[in-house]
Structure 1
Amino acid sequence: MRFEVVVKAACGNGRARIGHIYPVIGGVPTETPALILTTRKGLPTFISPDLLSTLPSPDSCLLHVSPMHFLEIPSTTTVARIGGVRRMVGLQGNYLFFASPRDSIECLPSSESSNKFGPSFETPCGRHLVKPAKYVEMVSALNPDVWVSLADEVPAWVLAKRNRTSVYRTVKWLDECIALNPKNEMMLLGAIVGGSSIEERKRCAKEVSLRNVSGFWIGGFGYGEGIEERPALLDAIMENLPDDKMRQISGFELPEILEGIASGIDLFDSKYIYHLTVGGFALVFPLNGVNEYEDEVDSQTCDFGSDGTKINLRATIYRKDTSSIVDNCECYTCQNHTRAYINHLINTHEMLAQILLEIHNTHHYLGFFCSIRDAIKRGEFNIFYKKFLQGRRNLFSTPMQFSAACN
């Protein structure tokens, strides 16, 4: 597997760029910016393997797996005997697995319990301290295509001394992971931390970029930093990274991903899809991201929790709505089921509701990333970004439209 930048940052795009991720053995390359689908032990939370193939390919072929999910059953020893996570879940072809401890849903870092020996994580089976040797052993058993070194992620409110310590530990653990790396064919992404400190972010980026890594994983976002702080923090990191290597970030949702893409990030996690699905929401915004927001408001935002990008299918107004979630959507859900049916499934607590919602939300979100890449290729990403944000601002600045639509 290898990564290559094919459309470099240019005027009209800021730092946004297009890259290709090539599988090890032939296959169609996956374009970036792209979405890495969050999984539980190798498969998406609600989508079964047979329905996974209905999603756009190769855009849906990047899968995240957390070694922390294998602390109990099945053990990494069992997975190693099977031949790795790919063979365990039965996915072949263009699917690529990205392994990192944090999955932004269940396995979250616990900075107060981390120490010099390793980071601590809150997992479904309790809090665990993970040392580099054990972590590399787990990664080796899973045999992913890409893996991330351990990181000491800290919230934004920690003191400067704790921030410096987190950078020191992260770089130290990276060196240990490199020394212990048993399979050189797996791409290693060096973790970058530093909390809300611009200086520590710079220092960590410089140190990690000096190591023999295939790319970078940017952590520590989504832990209390202010929205106004993010651009400066991202700039501090990107200015100190080489342009030819892969960049992945965790903790960004919509519309934060646009800010990340504008900064030059290539890969994002899909925790946003998970939270939408569990909450009963469906994405409905135009895939070009800029048109017809006002039209969407009148018909779709009078239910609680909707904001013009999504609708709450739990709401009673969809009880007799026989239309598809999004007109002309080609996903399995929209082609076969109605809003009324999904509303029924949600309110009767049927698991099929989450399956159908995750299929639609994933399909829609992948389509949005495709539109973003098209805008970058045209040299119009900055325009795309500004119009998307303006469309959302227009929605929230006209609250009377919501009440009018409900009456």
Structure 2
Amino acid sequence: MLAFTILKAATAAAPRLGRLALPGKKIIDTPCFIGNTSRGVVPHLSPDNLHAKTSLGGVYLALEDFIEKSPEAVPPIFQTPSLNNASPLTSYCGLPHDILTILGARRTPPVPCAKANTNTAVSILTSVGFRQVDATDYAAAVQRLKPDIAVGLADIMYDKGQISSKRIDKMGDRTGAWTRTLIQYCQDDDGEKGSLPHIFAPILPIESQLQSYYINQLLDDDLKHQVSGFTVYDAESLLHIPQELSALPRLALSEPNGPTKLLLEISLGVDIFTVPFIGTATDAGIALDFEFPPPSQVNGNSPKPLGTDGWLDEHAADTSPLAPSCECYSCRNHHRAFLHHLLSAREMLAWVLLQIHNHRILDQFFAGVRKSIAKDTFEEDKAAFEKYYEPELRDTTGQGPRVRGYQFKSEGRGEPKKNPKAYGRLDDAREKFAEGVLPSPNADAEDLERAGMGSVVL
């Protein structure tokens, strides 16, 4: 049975301390973050490294990552047996058994779908294109995969601009109906909540009065005791949670662009985050470097950057760790010069080391946040952090690992390609040969060597 204990009580829209416990799983102290996965794994981290080199207590997984064969064929994830008393979801992804699994329908952040949701289904993006998953099919998948926590379906429109009042009315009605469907599937024969999964009801990112009917339904006796927590997509939506249910845990599937935004959402009362910018920083070759509370010494006249760009040539001979105060595996065993070499050589180990390091930085950050809340100095420390550090991560100066996968699907006409053009490079070379910029294709080996092209073969 999932248990959430508030260790330091707080009023509405204020930071709080909590502890999330589930039998057989790691105890999670909140505020905290969980791993954000892609097709069942935390990017750049194998399951053994996830277990040995990080302190993650849970991961978020998306159903749309696994059901590309459905409904024409049974997806492999539904054919996976439970191994060693682990759920099929844990077994299929090869996750440590003590890791908390949270399952939702969509990735975070999601790619906007071309087709709108319907009264009975949510639009998703699988590796073979856009499709819809019915609310009953989602509930059946949750029942079959047995995650520790299931996020209820939410009727949310992504990147659609202004939403009409008529459409907003549908959002609350649909979300309420889908939540009741999920709860019915997760009850045992006596109508009681089973051991798995625990349901986190979504709170929509719209005004309270526009979803009041749905929220009032959560206070009914038949639903009130079936909801184990809440999921928000905008931290300000926490204000819509009824006071009677304020003691339940809160998961944010928002898209903070840095630790400053995280602090703002923590100040509003969020307990658990997915923090997508960790993966963004890792892919960009940035080693995060910030701490909370910030150092007490004066940081000159300009704010300090939130990370170190590993691509910069100034690190080519720098044997200092990725971050001075970090004790992660990467910082204890390697240095900036080695990381710069790996990035320059496009070695995948570079992003493995960065991912390990960046997760440790966030671990230390949230540990500092919890201590600050316990000492009642959070607001002062938050103001000092915002003054000491830059508000957002800087742009990288190098190219990260090749961006590929359906989750990076182009979203509109004229959108620039995510990767540089590779096809046709020989044609470009031949044009340069014809213009005399490069040696002739018929040049001998000595001519090519003098031009620095001894390895080019046409």
Report the TM-score range of the alignment, normalised by the length of the smaller protein: 0.7 to 0.9
The residue number in structure 2 matching 1:91 is 95
Aligned to 1:45: 43
* Equivalent residue number for residue 200 of structure 1: 210
Distance, in Å, in 2 between the alignment partners of 1:43 and 1:154 is 26
Deviates more, 1:329-338 or 1:93-102: 93-102
Matched residue type, 2:283: V
Supply the distance in 2 between the matched residues of 1:79 and 1:171 (Cα, whole angstroms): 31
1:246-325 paired onto structure 2 within 5 Å: 246-253=249-256, 254=258, 255-289=260-294, 291-292=296-297, 294=299, 308-325=305-322
Amino acid in the other structure paired with 1:188: I
User: Bigger radius of gyration, 1 or 2?
Assistant: 2
Match of 2:368 in 1: 371
Partner amino acid, structure 2, of 1:175: R
- Cα gap change, 1:9/1:289 in structure 2, threshold over 3 Å: closer, same or farther? farther
Query: How many angstroms apart in 2 are the aligned matches of 1:385 and 1:323?
Result: 28
**CA separation of 1:217/1:98 partners in 2, compared to 1, >3 Å: closer, same or farther?**
same
What SS does the corresponding residue of 1:43 show, helix, strand or coil? coil
Q: Within 2, Cα distance between the matches of 1:151 and 1:296? A: 45
CA distance in 1, matches of 2:300, 2:290: 11
- Deviation at residue 198 of structure 1 after TM alignment: 4.7
User: 1:133: which partner in 2?
Assistant: 136
- Contact in 2 for aligned 1:249/1:267 (Cα 8 Å): yes
Structure 2 counterpart of 1:215, from 213, 216, 229: 229
Aligned length: 370
Residue 214 of structure 1 and its aligned partner are, at CA, apart by: 0.6
Q: 2-side partners of 1:334 and 1:198: how far apart?
A: 46
With over 3 angstroms needed to count, the CA separation of the structure-2 counterparts of 1:238 and 1:316, relative to structure 1, is farther
Identity percentage over the alignment?
24
Task: Show CA shifts across 1:115-155 (max 9, x none).
Answer: 11211123333212111121122223322111111111124
Residue 68 of structure 1 is matched in structure 2 by 64
**Normalized per residue, which structure has more helix?**
1
Read off the aligned partner of 2:229 and give its amino acid letter. G
- Summarize the Cα distance change of 1:92–1:355 in structure 2 as closer, same or farther, 3 Å threshold: closer
Counterparts of 2:230 and 2:114 in 1: how far apart (Å)? 21
Paired residues for 1:152-231 under 5 Å: 152-155=155-158, 157-181=162-186, 184-185=194-195, 186-195=197-206, 197-200=207-210, 204-210=214-220, 211=223, 212-219=226-233, 221=234
Q: Label 1:49 to 1:32 Cα distance change in 2 as closer, same or farther (>3 A).
A: same
CA contact (8 A) 1:15 1:264 kept: yes
SS in 1 for 2:37: strand
* Runs (5+) with no aligned partner, structure 1: 222-229, 302-306, 397-407
Q: Distance in 1 between matches of 2:120 and 2:179?
A: 12
Runs of 4+ residues over 6 Å off in structure 1: none
Q: How far did 1:41 drift?
A: 3.5
User: Are the structure 2 counterparts of residues 188 and 330 from structure 1 closer, same or farther at C-alpha, using a change threshold of 3 Å?
Assistant: same
SS at the partner of 2:227? coil
Q: 1:304 — aligned with what?
A: none
Please show how residues 95-110 of structure 1 align to structure 2 within 5 Å. Answer: 95-105=99-109, 107-108=110-111, 110=113
Deviates more, 1:272-281 or 1:237-246: 237-246
* Residues 359-368 or 287-296, more deviating: 287-296
Distance 1:236 1:97 in 2: 26
- Structure 1 residue 209, shift from structure 2 partner: 4.7
Q: Partners of 2:82 and 2:26 in 1: how far apart?
A: 29
2:400 aligns to what? none
The CA RMSD measured in Å over matched residues stands at: 2.8
> Relative to structure 1, is the Cα distance of residues 328 and 250 closer, same or farther in structure 2, using a 3 angstrom cutoff?
same
TM-score, length of structure 1 as denominator length: 0.82
Q: CA deviation at 1:55?
A: 3.8
Equivalent in the alignment of 2:353: 356
**Structure 1 residue 85: Cα displacement:** 1.9
The one-letter amino acid of 1:23's match is L
AA matched with 1:189: F
CA change 1:52–1:154 in 2 (3 A) is same
| 1:35 paired residue number | 33
What TM-score results when the alignment is normalised by the length of structure 2?
Answer: 0.73
